[in-house]
Amino acid sequence: MIFHSLDFAAFFLVVVAIYWRLPHAAQNLLLLAASYVFYGWVHPWFVLIMLASTTVDYWAGQRMEDDAANKRWYLGASLAVNLGMLGAFKYFNFFVENVRDVLGAKDDSVRMEVFCTTEETTEIETLVRSIRPEPAVHTPAVDRRAPSPA
C-alpha cells in the first residue's frame, strides 16, 4: 500500500474513524494493529521484521525501567538491533555491488531480492534508465566532405 493510492485513503479514513471512537488504551492498540496491516499489505513477511523490532524495543524499554543502572546498555542493544536490520535490509545490495565493483567481479548472483517483485524491479530499472541513460557508444566521425582533388 502506498500513500498516494485509493487503498491507503480508504484504510486511513477507516482507521481515523475507529480511532476517535475508542478510549486511549484501545487507540494505542488500534494504531499498533493498523501499522502492522499497513506494512504487511504488499509483502506480508514485512510484519515479521516489524514484530522483531517491536519485541526488542518493548523488551529494552521494560528493562530500562526495571534496571535504571544499565539504561544505556539496553538503549544501545535496541539501537544495534534496529540499525542492524536497517543496514541489512536497506543497504545490503548497495554494499555488495560496491565491493563487487571494487574487486572487478562480474558475478551478479549475490543479491537480496526481498523488497521488490519482478514487476516493481523492472519499473524501477526503467525509471532509472530514463533518468540516467546508458552512455552512447562512441563511433568515429565520418568525413562527409567530398574528397579533395589531388
Residue whose C-alpha cell reads 538491533 in the numeric block: 81
pTM for the full model?
0.59
Average pLDDT per block of 10 residues along the chain, 150 residues long = 83 95 93 90 86 93 93 94 88 82 70 53 54 55 60
Domain definitions of the chain by residue range = 1-42, 45-131
Among 36, 30, 41, 47, CA closest to 2: 41
| Distance from C-alpha of 89 to C-alpha of 84, rounded to nearest angstrom | 9
| Distance from C-alpha of 57 to C-alpha of 35, rounded to nearest angstrom | 15
pLDDT of residue 43: 82
Among 110, 86, 85, CA closest to 97: 110
pLDDT of residue 90: 82
| Distance from C-alpha of 130 to C-alpha of 127, rounded to nearest angstrom | 5
pLDDT of residue 42: 80
